[in-house]
Structure 1
């Protein structure tokens, strides 16, 4: 296509081995072409742009020096994997990123042998790479073979305890393992905490250009210190850096910092490490998120996640919003509650913008805490705040809260501490696919004694649930809401405190009752409109609570109808399972009630639009209507004709 960049060298690359035909000077040109192709592709699909632009040179250098897929290249989180995908035989599909039946936005084992380990959450790479290294030394085998294990981890991901657990273990085992610290001074939000400060001090004492010059001057000396065995990293450090002590104490040889955008540094360093390293080594590379594309570099998040955009101007092509997003409704509602109650505080794990807490941080900076990529700590920190008399709202994505589940059980639920869990990205999330789908939180929270679990049916209900959580002080409480825009309902001036464990009637009907939990209520309403055209008017209720259940409402629906159907945006074991347990205990099934539970299927659903994903899940209006007709034994017209 005429609007695609001119890429003569990249056009000659169909797999990483093709990079070995190029001179170092040509690899520099290839990196420029790869950056242009990445920008062009993401402008068409949208996606995670800044992270990939920050590792273009590093990606080229790694594939040029190492022998992938025999050598296992593992990208932490893998927001940055688009250039990697282009070089590993997927360029012809790169403009299908994050689309239905297209390429995943993350590394994915089933997609390519060049993706040896899938990722979309942070801080897993060193653990996985160490596993590959030990498997290699124990005689493990995979079709591509087992060579070096290389983990590329960002400075934000290094704040998570799992990364240090892995490094501690690797230092003890002393296996040959290569870790590249991709230090771009920010993850999604600017990094926080002592680790970030420590990394900054490694190169803040002198101008970075001095380090760059020193590193270039020391490159020719690298083979000699490596022959010295265990002391080689310290010898290198004397010539080119100020520190690295922390990593050395963990058992790693430390090399850096080096300029992660300078192939004339990266290539000699990686070649020497590949030829000479024996035990675990950490290479500290300084990069810039969004590098080489001015609109990304100028953005506060360095172009972390973008919609489709104009390559020349960087202007994103977002559809006009018809309603506020659930995330913004939560953020504004929490600010309003905090203005009335100075005990309210907010906690997030490196996602202030994604959870809407950026609004809270602007209004109450001393009462908002971003703990970094450390969900376990964030949950227990919130528990400590609650035990100390504050009213913490712990705001995390559903899939990220999974990482702190033991803390939810041990530190919050057992002690019955009033931590308020605001669970964003509930249900299916679209382009991010299975790794970010909030499928399991109802199941893993509603089985905890004393936990209150709510789901908002629309943005007004979410505002009520923020107020309800703020007022609740008898144990933990959670409320969930999806990604994206609300339903466009009229918003109340102030949130109403809901009665715990009480649902609401939406419409009265006959024969069949549909009990919705969460935002599928809009699809239930659509299904009901179609059913009424067939002469069937279902009763509709909004459960609001999965725990405690509104037993009176459920038993009344069961008594007054021949069939009861529950609908939810969660996995088996959630709301519907609790309803079934209640009905069984009360002997309702003995009286002939027909009961069906509509849940997410027992499979992981790949990326697509949310509507397409819910169609696969069988939770759109058409499938709800079909379920009602099936349970009532009413044939559809198209079936009769067939």
Structure 2
């Protein structure tokens, strides 16, 4: 783009060592090295990804740090880059000196800067992984400034469950893309090192890797963040689903949130649930969650994904059979009439509130349904609702376009049934307070109730 405009400025790209594990990083480096023109790549090497770095590339980075960039075996030079090493990458004067050497250079160059993650704050330097992301806290007391859930979480439940199963079954392999503590592998990685793989920030490879293990009789369990699922679409379709390999993929962080635009968890349902062969499940409580994990690991017919509830743990104490082989069979929790409320996953509990308020304010005893399956519809149950229902509402913690609710609407498209779909608008949001988003999307029980009453007029 610079050359097309006839400009002569410096093109500068910055990348951390953790991100070098991703295939797109290599593609960019490979292309840049062959350009033969001014492009300056700044590699910020603090010897950490989100967790520890894993992979062959990091052996070479370690060698370059040990030799202060003088090792003959140099990954960047092998690609065709000129190369400069900065021993003290947190030293501004040292950086200025290095930058001055390469400014206006006429060929591709890498400046490899050795830095310290968390530099300047001792706690962060000593606890690099824990301080990769933290909630606000008091610097003096170290106490959090916002309420932090220290109780049982769905991540800790998975960690305990998988660790116990792996102790009895060496076919179980825990896989993460650099986020073990978030995706239920925090203890697992220490207790079962031979059954644990961190592929680095390489979600695409993680899916293909899990698929390959499953194809040979292994029982891979891959934890992914919803916000990064889009990276894996090709592998989910081409490697996993087409081959129908029975890997289990746990999707964490799925749902509407007040997070930043690069960490939104609202797009995974359309991305995953519309790929053939993948069974996408949505547990509503602890018992369903563990039963779905058990079934997903032990069954051998389908690729299975589980949308981990994005909320505090709910336990009913009821036994749930670990068998979901009768695909797309919804659970009718409360038998009612006139209105049917279908609450998916975490939003099932919103459905309970709507059901209660609807009965209190109108006398209508609605049917309450827990669909459990995101990727398909229960045509028998939906057909039965036609007998004594006027309205079906769906609740989902994600975008409506291409989502779960649209499947229900499509089923009723040529039938005498009104349908209201509640979920998020197709948009990118950036640090918008959750309460504001719920109001915007009509996802409070009061607003939903108002819409129901209007639809019944």
Whether 1:137 and 2:137 are equivalent positions in the alignment is no
Give the Cα–Cα distance (whole angstroms) in 1 for the partners of residues 318 and 359 of structure 2.
Answer: 30
Residue 193 of structure 2, aligned match among 342, 345, 365: 365
Residue 398 of structure 1, aligned match among 220, 223, 226: 226
Residue 163 of structure 1, aligned match among 9, 25, 32: 25
CA shift for structure 1 position 384: 0.9
Q: Is the 8 A contact 1:255 1:283 kept in 2?
A: yes
Residue 446 of structure 2, aligned match among 618, 622, 638: 622
Name the CA shift for 1:566/1:560 in 2 (closer, same or farther; >3 Å).
Answer: same
Structure 2: state its 5+ residue gaps. Answer: none
CA shift for structure 1 position 491: 4.9
- SS, match of residue 402 in structure 2: coil
CA shift for structure 1 position 340: 4.7
In structure 2, the partner of 1:497 is 323
CA shift for structure 1 position 605: 2.2
Give the Cα–Cα distance (whole angstroms) in 2 for the partners of residues 371 and 434 of structure 1.
Answer: 24
Residue 60 of structure 2, aligned match among 198, 203, 211: 198
CA shift for structure 1 position 502: 1.7
In structure 2, the partner of 1:594 is 418
Give the Cα–Cα distance (whole angstroms) in 2 for the partners of residues 183 and 493 of structure 1.
Answer: 49
Structure 1: state its 5+ residue gaps. Answer: 1-134, 206-210, 212-236, 634-642
Q: Is the 8 A contact 1:160 1:373 kept in 2?
A: yes
Question: TM-score, normalised on structure 1?
Answer: 0.67
Q: Is the 8 A contact 2:45 2:115 kept in 1?
A: yes
- SS, match of residue 374 in structure 2: strand
- SS, match of residue 607 in structure 1: coil
Residue 465 of structure 1, aligned match among 292, 295, 301: 292
Give the Cα–Cα distance (whole angstroms) in 2 for the partners of residues 524 and 146 of structure 1.
Answer: 59
Q: Which moved more, 1:363-372 or 1:475-484?
A: 475-484
Written as runs of structure 1 = structure 2, the 5 A alignment for 1:175-574 is 175-205=37-67, 211=68, 241-243=70-72, 245-274=74-103, 276-301=104-129, 303-319=131-147, 321=149, 324-430=152-258, 432-486=259-313, 488-491=314-317, 496-498=322-324, 499-534=326-361, 535-571=363-399, 572-574=401-403
Name the CA shift for 1:365/1:261 in 2 (closer, same or farther; >3 Å).
Answer: same
Give the Cα–Cα distance (whole angstroms) in 2 for the partners of residues 181 and 358 of structure 1.
Answer: 28
User: Per-residue CA shift, 1:394-452, capped at 9, x if unaligned?
Assistant: 2101222211110111111111111111111111233x333222222221222222221
Cα RMSD of the aligned pairs, angstroms, is 2.3
Give the Cα–Cα distance (whole angstroms) in 2 for the partners of residues 558 and 605 of structure 1.
Answer: 37
- SS, match of residue 625 in structure 1: helix
Give the Cα–Cα distance (whole angstroms) in 2 for the partners of residues 291 and 402 of structure 1.
Answer: 32
Question: TM-score, normalised on structure 2?
Answer: 0.93
CA shift for structure 1 position 261: 1.4
Larger Rg: 1
Q: Is the 8 A contact 2:54 2:200 kept in 1?
A: yes
Please identify which structure carries the higher strand content: 2
Name the CA shift for 1:631/1:157 in 2 (closer, same or farther; >3 Å).
Answer: same
Give the Cα–Cα distance (whole angstroms) in 2 for the partners of residues 579 and 389 of structure 1.
Answer: 36
Give the Cα–Cα distance (whole angstroms) in 1 for the partners of residues 319 and 60 of structure 2.
Answer: 46
CA shift for structure 1 position 562: 0.8
- SS, match of residue 412 in structure 2: helix
Q: Is the 8 A contact 1:337 1:467 kept in 2?
A: no
Give the Cα–Cα distance (whole angstroms) in 1 for the partners of residues 184 and 166 of structure 2.
Answer: 14
Name the CA shift for 1:299/1:315 in 2 (closer, same or farther; >3 Å).
Answer: farther
Q: Which moved more, 1:314-323 or 1:526-535?
A: 314-323
Written as runs of structure 1 = structure 2, the 5 A alignment for 1:69-84 is none
Q: Is the 8 A contact 2:86 2:94 kept in 1?
A: no
Give the Cα–Cα distance (whole angstroms) in 2 for the partners of residues 493 and 555 of structure 1.
Answer: 28
- SS, match of residue 259 in structure 1: coil
Alignment coverage as a number of residue pairs: 454
Please identify which structure carries the higher helix content: 1
Q: Is the 8 A contact 1:516 1:543 kept in 2?
A: yes
Give the Cα–Cα distance (whole angstroms) in 2 for the partners of residues 493 and 541 of structure 1.
Answer: 18
Name the CA shift for 1:531/1:394 in 2 (closer, same or farther; >3 Å).
Answer: same
